[in-house]
Structure 1
């Protein structure tokens, strides 16, 4: 898993390289990996921003999305329901195995 650097550090590294220094010099100066500096500069050139890309799956997907309203209603009706109980209700009422 990658290390998450602050936006402030990302901007400073990108600006350092933009000022004419090499990516490797920026990495040494800011005590980050060369790979990070190189990928950051590439990302900044491609997107115009040194901000990190969103991680994880895009929202709105997954096999349980079709059952979202059922799951929300079940939890609202019984807030103390456990995950195994919720999975059993989903299987019982919709035939879906949430594994």
Structure 2
């Protein structure tokens, strides 16, 4: 994943723009894109700092609204497959991926491992 430019570079770029240089000249001199110079200068005017905003974010849990249903369904039919649970959720209008259902079941510590000793 890419990283944000350092604050020292951002501050020098914004200072050059504030000193009266054109955006294109500043971009060429510092080796950054014109759009970056415009964004950093605009952020400096709006917030008082040209520092980068935090990257990434927290992903929302798509299974949270149907958690109770899924757990109840797994309790009544413990041998239900992930694909079958995914299909039942889709029938209710909740479209989730296989990976989302798997991650949910893993978080809830519901295992699908089959072995002869458990039978």
**Which residue number in structure 2 is paired with residue 63 of structure 1?**
61
C-alpha distance in structure 2 between counterparts of 1:28 and 1:62, whole Å: 40
Runs of 4+ that moved beyond 3 A: 86-89
Distance 1:36 1:2, change over 3 A: farther
Specify which of 103, 106, 109 is matched with residue 88 of structure 1.
106
Larger Rg: 2
Please list every run of 5 or more consecutive structure 2 residues that lacks an aligned counterpart in the other structure.
65-101, 111-119
In the alignment, structure 1 segments of 5+ residues that lack a partner are: 67-83, 93-99
C-alpha spacing 1:27/1:8, structure 2 compared with 1 (3 Å): same
Q: Distance in 2 between matches of 1:28 and 1:87?
A: 52
Structure 1 vs Structure 2 CA RMSD: 3.2
Q: Structure 2 length normalisation: TM-score?
A: 0.50
Deviation at 1:29? 0.9
Q: TM-score of the superposition, structure 1-length normalised?
A: 0.58
Deviation of 1:91 (Å)? 5.1
Matches of 1:6 and 1:48, distance apart in 2: 16
Matched, 1:35 2:35: yes
